[in-house]
Amino acid sequence: MSNCDACLVSGLSICSVLTTDERTELGSFGHIKTVKRGQTLQWEGEDSLFVANVIDGLLKLSTATSDGREQIVGLAFPSDFLGQPFHSRNGYTATALVDSRVCLFTRTAFDAFTLEHPELGHDLLLRTMDELKSARHWLLLLGRKSAGEKISSFLLELSRRMARVVENQNDNQILCPGAEPAPLDRITLPVDRQQIADILGLTIETVSRQFSHLRAIGVIELPDRRTVEILDRAWLQENAGN
């Protein structure tokens, strides 16, 4: 049983639509699980036994071909929902990119609870629609953009999402639904070059070359391999190919 009142993401996660009592009830059959970096929470195609809220850390959602080519289909940041409610099989593999904590529910119990609380189902719908929207946006990126445009898009998107995470970490009680925090100009990359390649449908060498190129023309700085500093955001926006 988890302590929802102290939950870092209770204001942004799916739980935020519930009353205190309802949240306590849902929390009574959820529990917190630690997922170590590299550990896989669920495998694509296997039985969908659990759903979860990400409390902190970061996970990648991925699919792969039988011969081992991988495509990352999403990233799950704190407060994101994870898993396949009402479905018997997992649609993707979920692996922790850094040590993470998730609030885990058995799928069937969560399903039943959702059916009794339509507002939860409604919030799930909105979240799923949002994910669908960004997945489709990513289709355009993968299908039609050049390597340079992919990198620019990635940096802008990451800057935006990381800002939300940081915002929530700094002050998780004050919530401004819909209000977007200012994007970060200094990003600590949560993923290595190979994973950037797997997100953008490129190779590690191409990612590296594009980074070097952006640095050479003064658009970004690379203080160390996990940090990107955006010097010319406008340039990135003009060259993201949107």
- The footprint of DNA (CB under 7 A) covers 146-148, 192-194, 201-209, 211-212, 222, 224-226
Task: Rule CB under 8 A: choose which of 24, 40, 86, 160 binds its own copies.
Answer: 86
Residue 100: closest CA among 189, 32, 198? 32
Q: Answer yes or no whether residue 148 interacts with its own copies by CB under 8 A.
A: no
Provide, rounded to whole angstroms, the least separation between the CB of residue 117 and its own copies. Answer: 10
Q: Which amino acid is present at 40?
A: T
Positive or negative torsion for Cα 125, 130, 136, 139: negative
Instruction: Say which residue the tokens 């119990």 belong to.
Output: 109
Which of its own copies, DNA, none sits in contact with 203, Cβ below 5 to 8 A by type?
A: DNA
Instruction: Assess 143 for contact with its own copies (CB under 8 A).
Output: yes
Task: By CB under 8 A, tell whether 31 contacts its own copies.
Answer: no
According to the binding rule CB under 8 A, does residue 128 interact with its own copies?
yes
- Largest separation between any pair of C-alpha atoms in the chain: 57
Of residues 150-209, those binding its own copies (CB under 8 A): 200-201
One-character DSSP codes across 170-190: H-SS---TTPPPPPPSEEE-S
Contact 44, 92 (CB under 8 A): yes
Name which position in 77, 81, 113, 138 contacts its own copies (CB under 8 A): 138
101 and 8 Cβ atoms separated by less than 8 Å: no
Q: Taking the complex as a whole, how short is the minimal distance between the CB of residue 150 and DNA, in angstroms? A: 8
63 binds its own copies (CB under 8 A): yes
Beta strands in the chain (DSSP E): 30-35, 40-42, 50-64, 70-76, 81-82, 93-106, 186-188, 220-221, 227-230
- Residue 129's binding partner among DNA, its own copies, none (Cβ under 5 to 8 angstroms by kind) is its own copies
The contact set with its own copies (CB under 8 A) reads: 61, 63-67, 69-71, 73-74, 84-87, 91-92, 115, 118, 121-122, 124-126, 128-129, 131-133, 135-140, 142-145, 200-201, 241-242
